[in-house]
Chains A and B, each alone.
Chain A
Amino acid sequence: MFLLFSLWLFLTKVEAIDLSATGGWNETVNESDLISGAGSNLVDTYESTTDATNITISNCIGDSDNWRVDVRSVDDGGWYGDFTIYVKRTSDGAGNGSISGELSYIEITSTDTQFFSGAGDRSNINIQYQLTGMSINVSPDNYNTTILFTVVDIP
């Protein structure tokens, strides 16, 4: 009896909220990004499309199952030190629950920062990125960083 109870408990409670993310951001900086041609510097700030990343929250236990999404970056050594990257939510997505927070840019750092929160399943939440710190002092190369989105179930 105990084993059955334990199994039921496990099967019901282990259904963690899921987060999936699609998309990403690729940007090429070249001479067309000079502020005013030869003699000028590169534009400092770049923005992705408003739907560069699409996030879906699923597997909630009802529309009042509260959650929050944290964001952080992981530098695998391929990032330029003077770059700063920001993120914001540009849509509410769809779903019967709710969503709130961060319609303005927040800086992505190497530690988890609360991005937005909500309740219930939510699909097609659009995310936009912004990068600052570009200049001609950045050597020609490829630079990349990994952005981690984590959904946390809020009791």
Chain B
Amino acid sequence: MKKLVFGLFGLGLVFGLSGLALAGNTAQQTVTYQVDAINEISVSGNPGDLVVNSATAGSEPNEDTDNSTNWAITTNQTARKITGSINTAMPTNVTLEINLTAPTGGVSENDVSLSATDADLVTSIETVAESGLTITYTLSATVAAGVVPQAQKTVTITLTAE
């Protein structure tokens, strides 16, 4: 009798082990995603000609303004800013200003005189994707500038870290 009980126990143990072994077999795979830093800006095109050609008697010439273009931004980073510059300096007593509407959360520096050195145009930019943001250019000249021939400037705006 003692022998039989031992035998049944042994059988149960073997079945138990077999059951564990049959429970399943697992393999694993890894899914990896890499998200790169994305910092994209674009502009809609070139503004119209800016011409200073009138004045109120007794005052400096009237400035000319263009807000026909806009800009767009997508960044998945924080603490970004937009800077701007022109390829060569403006003639003496002639000023070209730019004003970028800030995306949500950003801060516009409003009218900024452009020079060959980068200046902050919009700061405190956080993660954002917005388009249709207005660009306003203003050309002004004092009487001391005299008559200035038509010229072109290349404006470069850059999205960079603060």
Residues of A within 8 A of B (CB): 2, 6, 9-10, 13-14, 16-21, 23-31, 34, 37-42, 53, 55, 70, 74, 80, 83, 85, 129, 131, 134, 136-153
| A42 x B38 contact (CB < 8 A) | yes
The answer, yes or no, to whether B160 is at the interface (CB within 8 Å) is no
| A140 x B74 contact (CB < 8 A) | no
Total A-B pairs in contact (CB under 8 Å)? 169
| A146 x B18 contact (CB < 8 A) | no
Closest beta carbon of chain A to B27's beta carbon, Å: 4
| B24 x A151 contact (CB < 8 A) | yes
The CA of A106 and the CA of B158, in the complex, are separated in Å by 43
Closest beta carbon of chain A to B161's beta carbon, Å: 13
Residue of A28, A53, A140, A149 touching B26 (CB-CB under 8 A):
A149
Closest beta carbon of chain A to B7's beta carbon, Å: 5
- Identify the closest chain A residue to B11 (Cβ): A6
- With A14-B17, A38-B73 known as contacts, the answer to whether A29 contacts B36 (CB < 8 A) is yes
B55-89: CB near A (< 8 Å → 1, else 0) gives 00000000000000000111111000000000000
The CA of A129 and the CA of B26, in the complex, are separated in Å by 18
| A40 x B131 contact (CB < 8 A) | yes
Residue of A2, A29, A152 touching B33 (CB-CB under 8 A):
A29
